[in-house]
Structure 1
Amino acid sequence: MTERGLILPLHPAGGVGLPQLPPLALYIHIPWCVRKCPYCDFNSHAASPELPETAYVDALLADLEQDLKHVHGRELTSIFFGGGTPSLFSAEALGRLLDGVEQRIKFARDIEITLEANPGTFEQAKFRAYHQLGINRLSIGVQSFQEAKLKALGRIHNGDEAIRAADMARNAGFDNFNLDLMHGLPDQSLDDALADLRQAIDLAPTHLSWYQLTLEPNTVFWNQPPTLPEDDILWDIQEAGQALLAEHGYAQYEVSAYARDGLRARHNLNYWSFGDFLGIGAGAHAKLSSPNGQIVRAWKTRLPKDYLDPSKAFQAGERILSREELPFEFLMNVLRLTDGVAADLFTQRTGLPIAELASARREAEARGLLLADPTRLVATREGQLFLNDLLQHFLP
């Protein structure tokens, strides 16, 4: 079968194989935090006084060893330490882990290595040591700079600590760091939200993740919902905040991501471009492609005690994506990008001909949700605002 003159192998689901494998990233989950926040639905657990650093690093490397069959000769373009609060781990533990990863998989020359950190865990010497390990990007979970809002969110830091964290990151050698900031917080006004955003901008991060608080199942907030701003206020916050960010040189490139020129988060861009990623650690997820065109989503056992139990398997399950699922899975990611992607990336990442999307594309374009451009897959402004409505057109 040919697509634009390229001869492609048959796809096991009945389409075509992949012209080449996507870039490969690594996600490492460290599941402990000082205290579980009431809005958090991530796989995180309150830490005991003594973290099992040595045992957990050993388990992570053994987990990775079992996943090496998915590498297929690729190098790692990025690594992301997520959690929980990965900055609870010592530099010694993270250094042994990074050494072990690099012994098993080659690092790209310009690899991006990001560590999530919370202001309440910052120590200057510790973060300088992180930087010396080769960790070259931080993502700092500020959420707000206002005492009342931080208290409502159950955060362990105060506003002054959040400001100092950004200064300490820079002093430790990190010239590339993200601030994580929420809006739509309990009883938040437009002025409150913009004050938070102005304070974040004043700290001159290279990247801002600015997103609305949502109430997720299996959280304290879901069962005991706080009073959140009305929809009209949320809309005003979104519009005014985006204008403020643009005014200060932060270009929006994804639903909730804003960056200085050339400093977009490469690890997350790989997710949103339907790239591949290994996932190690308790509850970590992965998306992996094979040379024969098979694409799998896999996930690891969730509870740390089970993950550390040598009698139990690291992997909890996996699911092979069917031909019918692939269009939705692909577009669910790439349409989050403000500029979308080149249309031919669909075939490169899924192995399916772009003609598979033709009927749904016409419907979405007719509704004004998808840009009528045969060379690109891009949501219109309305499509970005109503992304779920847009994606409904591509459900299997």
Structure 2
Amino acid sequence: MPVAPLIPPPLSLYVHLPWCVRKCPYCDFNSHEARTALPFDAYVEALLADLEFDLPLVWGRTVHSVFFGGGTPSLFPAEAIDRFLQGASSRLRFAPDVEITLETNPGTAEHGRFEGYRAAGVNRLSFGIQSFDDGCLQRLGRIHDSREAEAAVKQAQDAGFDDINLDLMFALPQQTPAMAETDVERAIALAPAHVSHYQLTLEPNTVFAVRTPEGLPDEDTAWTMQEACQARLAAAGYAQYEISAYARPGRQCAHNLNYWRFGDYLGIGAGAHGKLTLGSEQSILRRWKHKHPARYLATAGTAGAIGGDERIAPEQRPFEFMLNALRLREGFTLALFRARTGLDDEAIAAPLERAIARGWLAREDGERIRPTELGLRFANDAIALFL
């Protein structure tokens, strides 16, 4: 049971833009193919109405990061992003150093648009590259090729962006360890600040889950790829600070760090999820919005746009906290656990000792808990102990 007051943590804003040119066969995100002209103006108005409706949940709090996810946010013109950010910053207090990330697909990058995004206030770009091998890209259903990927990153750099993330996937259909390493080499050559490097997984309700692609590497080969790529990234100055995230010094993603430290985030847009600590009632609320864009557009700004509200019960909080914190190399302090969950150390004492005994977690100075190298590899098993 709660024994300490819940202290509202840093707040982020997540904005979901749900359309894409073509749905990838591995994608389980709330994304919808753009079959007609997109309602940019109407959707921005809906986002601002949605934000207005949720404002009472976050009155007086400062937003430290904004993340435009999708879908493919770069389908939206810079003018639409600018209008939203102006409207949002007039309703919320943005920190002076607020990180504002926009996900972009190289296949939707247009010359001149990056300058517009930067003028609108976007200061970080995340490119969904996935691979620099054209055969792998085709098998993944991507709409860009390697030439377009490299050109788009260089255009963004020419527009003044120096905080750039490149998303790469490994264990792709018909991919060899040498091919995976080449992807990392080509990413490093573009000198991004950050690299996300994660294994392809076959998620339920995707095309790949129904029709398994041929030539998927087995788990041992996938692990060989991960170790080799991790070593190459480290040699180039990219430190692994989360299971699938690597950054140059000081260039970690502030938005994602807030997730992993069990921070708060307000989620607006079709299918967006949020998690908020409500100090007035000493509870943690999860809220999500309806997924289908048409329904969202029709109801945004009213209770009708809410897909669901759920309070995270005290007995659920240890698992929810560990689901995030144990992905980080830094782990967490027991003080952070108490502040974010309102629970005493006893709430996790037994599973914590089991995880330490199995070599998955280590305790430092009695206060900090870190995953070991083995624990990072078996993070899901370690997290499951706290269910």
CA deviations over 1:235-263 (Å, ceiling 9, x no partner): 11011111000000000000100000000
Residue in structure 2 matched with residue 393 of structure 1 by the alignment: 385
Q: Is 1:334 aligned with 2:321?
A: no
Aligned to 2:284: 295
- Cross-structure match for 2:119: 132
Q: 375, 378, 391: which is aligned to 2:367?
A: 375
Q: In the alignment, is residue 226 of structure 1 matched against residue 213 of structure 2?
A: yes
Written as runs of structure 1 = structure 2, the 5 A alignment for 1:143-292 is: 143-227=130-214, 228-291=216-279, 292=281
**Aligned residue identity for 1:111:** V
Q: Aligned AA for 1:297?
A: R
| Structure 1 counterpart of 2:55 | 68
Which residue does 1:86 correspond to in 2? 73
Q: Which amino acid in the other structure matches residue 30 of structure 1?
A: L
Tell me which moved more, 192-201 or 44-53: 44-53
CA deviation profile, 1:146-186 (whole Å, cap 9, x unmatched): 11100000000011001101101101110110000000000
Partners of 1:306 and 1:312 within 8 A in 2: no
1:232 aligns to what SS in structure 2? helix
Rounded Cα–Cα distance in structure 2 between residues aligned with 1:364 and 1:293: 29
Q: Distance in 2 between matches of 1:188 and 1:265?
A: 28
CA distance in 1, matches of 2:315, 2:83: 42
Aligned CA RMSD, in angstroms, stands at 1.1
Contact 1:124 1:172 (C-alpha < 8 Å) held by counterparts:
no
Extract structure 1 runs of 4+ deviating beyond 6 A.
none
CA distance in 1: counterparts of 2:72 and 2:273, whole angstroms: 17
- Does structure 1 residue 349 correspond to structure 2 residue 340? yes
Q: Distance in 1 between matches of 2:164 and 2:129?
A: 12
Q: Name structure 1 gaps, 5 residues minimum.
A: 1-12
Query: Which segments of 5 or more consecutive residues in structure 2 lack a partner in the other structure?
Result: none
Structure 2 counterpart of 1:353, one-letter code: D
In 1, distance between residues paired with 2:257 and 2:61? Answer: 18
Give the letter for the 2:145 counterpart.
Answer: N
- Match among 343, 353, 360 for residue 362 of structure 1: 353
TM-score by length of structure 1 reads 0.95
Percent sequence identity over aligned pairs: 54
Deviations 1:300-328 (A, max 9, x none): 00000100114871111011011110011
8 Å contact kept, 1:293–1:350: no
Counterpart secondary structure, 1:371: strand
Distance 2:205 2:3 in 1: 39
Q: CA deviation at 1:14?
A: 4.3
1:322 aligns with 2:313: yes
Other-structure match for 1:56: 43
8 A Cα contact 1:16 1:293, kept in partner: no
- 2:233 maps to amino acid: L
Contact 1:32 1:44 in 2 (8 A): yes
In structure 1, the residue corresponding to 2:298 is in which secondary structure?
Answer: coil
Give the whole-Å Cα distance in 1 for the aligned partners of 2:237 and 2:166. Answer: 15
Structure 2 CA distance for aligned equivalents of residues 365 and 384 of structure 1: 13
* C-alpha distance after superposition, 1:263-293 (max 9, x if no partner): 0000000000000000000000000001132
Distance in 1 separating the partners of 2:153 and 2:361 = 38
Amino acid at match of 1:299: W
**Contact 1:79/1:113 (<8 A) preserved:** yes
Distance in 2, matches of 1:89 and 1:260, equals: 29
1:96-111 maps to which residues of 2 (within 5 A)? Answer: 96-111=83-98
Is structure 2 residue 286 aligned with structure 1 residue 306? no
Is this contact kept in 1: 2:2–2:344, CA < 8 A?
A: no
Q: How far apart, CA to CA, are the structure 2 residues paired with 1:351 and 1:390? A: 22
The amino acid that maps onto 2:363 is A
The alignment covers a number of residue pairs equal to 382
- In the alignment, the residues of structure 2 paired with residue 62 and residue 372 of structure 1 have an alpha-carbon distance, to the nearest angstrom, of 46
Cα distance in 1 for partners of 2:191, 2:231 equals: 17
CA–CA distance in 2 between the matches of 1:17 and 1:339? 24
Q: 1: distance between equivalents of 2:38 and 2:303?
A: 20
Contact conserved, 2:124 with 2:164, CA < 8 A, in 1?
yes
For residues 360 and 149 of structure 1, the distance between their equivalents in structure 2, rounded to whole angstroms, comes to 41
